[in-house]
């Protein structure tokens, strides 16, 4: 009972931090609009270089620094203080800060070209910019999804082949039994930053791979690892990455259309020169953010459905619900998961079914 109370306390704090993060994001954008910080950033950018694209670049740089300054205290608390308080991390502050800095630099490097392209499209395609921007976003998402495992992940963690020969043979046999040809099964040194355990299926085409955290490999027996791996193979068998990609791209199509229909009008009301005025950037961000917030329950529900299918696949493949249940209990203990959150919390915040529901489903499963 004490462990469950500890898990609930940790997750309760995490849930409040999520709420605070939403409030902070909205407040940050509103402050930039209401207190006319967006005009200040524009003036600074204009003083550096008056060309339109230079203004967009430097404006976005100043806005990014502004966002980082406001969000850093929460990032520090959630990523460092809280994880150490619950003994989930052994990182030193310099190590954590360096990882955080790399993430911010990478985010800026990836996002800046998209922002520049967006404004170039708005300036040159008055009535169709939103569709062209959506199409480029879809292409970018596909390319990033394909390259993420091979270019992005190695910036933070190291892949290594699974050293246990018997386990490697079991993994190959499990995949081949169901016509799944997958060569790329890797261990990832999650223990570098956390004591939590995790597994994932990532990448498209030749970059697709199953990733098992070393924390999981060190703490789970072979049967439990097979149950987790079978879940990930279920995602592969059901083509869940493609389905998730299609769903998110369809939602983004609606989001870009809503921005197109509202941004120009609202920009003029607030004293900007229209959608192509970079000073309206916080407004654009606010519209996208609120749209994503409203649609997040649908996105999470779509993901939870895929996770339930993958759980069912694992149970059918392994015919070993005991190991599946044991693996779920270990994941819950290692990640301090709340097995039975409030239904509203699960509805709004969880992209996986609650662990308690996953265990109950396994207990009812008929071998």
Q: Could you state, in order of their start, the residue ranges of all structural domains in the chain?
A: 2-155, 159-240+303-364
CATH number of 159-240+303-364: 3.30.2010.10
**Backbone φ, ψ for residue 36 (5° rounding):** 60, 30
Q: For Cα atoms 296, 297, 303, give the angle at the middle one, nearest 5 degrees.
A: 90
Could you give the count of Cα atoms lying within 13 Å of 54 in the half-sphere of its Cβ?
9
Q: What average pLDDT does range 33-62 have in this prediction?
A: 97
Q: What average pLDDT does range 113-131 have in this prediction?
A: 97
Task: State what percent of residues in the chain have pLDDT above 90.
Answer: 78
pLDDT at 82 over 90: yes
Residues 6+ apart with CB under 8 A from 285: 29
- Which of 3-7, 252-256, 362-366: highest mean pLDDT? 252-256
Query: What pLDDT is recorded for position 186?
Result: 85
Task: State what percent of residues in the chain have pLDDT above 70.
Answer: 97
Burial readout 252-264 (b: 16 or more C-beta within 10 A, e: otherwise) = bbebbeebbeebb
pLDDT one-digit tens code per residue, 191-225: 999 999 888 877 777 777 778 899 999 999 999 99
Nearest by Cα to 184 from 210, 216, 146:
210
Pairing type for strands 209-213 and 185-188 reads: parallel
pLDDT at 247 over 60: yes
pLDDT one-digit tens code per residue, 53-70: 999 999 999 999 999 999
| Full DSSP string of 241-268 | HHHHHHHHHHHHHHHHHHHHHHHHHHHH
Give pTM, 2 decimals. Answer: 0.92
**Backbone φ, ψ for residue 68 (5° rounding):** -65, -40
Query: What pLDDT is recorded for position 100?
Result: 97
41 vs 31: CA distance, rounded Å: 13
Q: What average pLDDT does range 72-77 have in this prediction?
A: 97
pLDDT at 43 over 70: yes
Structure tokens at 335: 């990640």
Q: What average pLDDT does range 269-286 have in this prediction?
A: 96
Q: What average pLDDT does range 258-276 have in this prediction?
A: 95
Alpha-carbon separation of residue 101 from 72, 156, 226, 352 (angstroms): 11, 11, 36, 29
Alpha-carbon separation of residue 116 from 84, 113, 130, 196, 353 (angstroms): 39, 5, 14, 38, 39
Burial readout 266-304 (b: 16 or more C-beta within 10 A, e: otherwise) = bbeebebeebbbbbbbbbbbbbbebbeeeebeeebebbb
pLDDT one-digit tens code per residue, 142-193: 999 888 888 899 999 999 888 888 887 887 787 777 666 666 678 899 999 9
What rounded mean pLDDT belongs to the chain? 92
Q: What average pLDDT does range 259-263 have in this prediction?
A: 96
Q: CA end-to-end span of the chain, whole Å?
A: 30
pLDDT at 134 over 80: yes
Query: What pLDDT is recorded for position 182?
Result: 63
Least confident of 198-207, 261-270, 298-307: 198-207
Query: What pLDDT is recorded for position 97?
Result: 97
User: Does the CA dihedral 162-167-170-171 come out positive or negative?
Assistant: negative
pLDDT at 279 over 70: yes
Whether residue 53 contacts residue 116, with contact meaning beta carbons closer than 8 Å, is answered with: yes
Q: What average pLDDT does range 69-89 have in this prediction?
A: 96
155 Cα distance to chain centroid: 16
156 vs 74: CA distance, rounded Å: 21
Query: What pLDDT is recorded for position 183?
Result: 63
pLDDT at 118 over 90: yes
pLDDT at 98 over 80: yes
Query: What pLDDT is recorded for position 180?
Result: 67
């Amino acid at each position: 009972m004490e462990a469950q109370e500890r898990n609930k306390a940790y997750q309760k704090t995490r849930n409040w931090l999520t709420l605070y993060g939403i409030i902070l994001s909205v407040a940050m954008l509103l402050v930039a609009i209401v207190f006319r910080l967006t005009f200040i950033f524009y003036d600074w950018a204009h003083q550096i270089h008056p060309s339109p694209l230079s203004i967009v670049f430097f404006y976005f740089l100043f806005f990014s620094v502004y966002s980082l300054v406001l969000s850093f205290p929460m990032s520090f608390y959630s990523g460092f203080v809280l994880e150490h308080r619950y003994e989930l991390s052994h990182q030193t502050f310099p190590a954590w800060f360096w990882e955080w800095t790399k993430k911010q630099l990478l985010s800026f490097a990836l996002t800046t070209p998209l922002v520049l392209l967006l404004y170039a499209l708005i300036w040159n395609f008055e009535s169709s910019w939103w569709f062209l921007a959506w199409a480029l976003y879809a292409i970018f998402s596909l390319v990033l999804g394909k390259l993420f495992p091979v270019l992005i992940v190695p910036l933070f963690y190291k892949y290594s082949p699974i050293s246990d020969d018997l386990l490697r043979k079991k993994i190959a046999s499990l995949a081949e039994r169901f016509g799944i040809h997958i060569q790329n099964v890797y261990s990832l040194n999650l223990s570098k930053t956390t004591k939590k355990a995790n597994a994932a299926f990532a990448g498209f085409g030749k970059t697709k791979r199953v990733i098992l955290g070393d924390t999981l490999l060190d703490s789970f027996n072979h049967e439990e690892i097979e149950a987790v791996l079978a879940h990930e193979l279920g995602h592969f068998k059901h083509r869940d990455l493609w389905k998730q990609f299609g769903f998110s791209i369809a939602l983004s199509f609606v989001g870009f259309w809503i921005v197109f229909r509202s941004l120009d009008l609202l920009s003029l009301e607030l004293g900007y020169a229209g959608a192509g005025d970079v000073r309206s950037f916080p407004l654009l961000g606010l519209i996208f953010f609120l749209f994503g917030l409203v649609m997040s329950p649908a996105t999470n529900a779509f993901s939870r459905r895929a996770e339930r299918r993958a759980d069912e696949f694992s149970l059918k493949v392994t015919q070993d619900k005991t190991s599946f249940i044991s693996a779920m209990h270990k994941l819950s203990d290692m990640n301090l998961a709340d097995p039975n959150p409030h239904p509203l919390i699960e509805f709004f915040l969880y992209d996986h079914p609650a662990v308690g529901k996953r265990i109950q489903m396994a207990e009812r499963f008929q071998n």
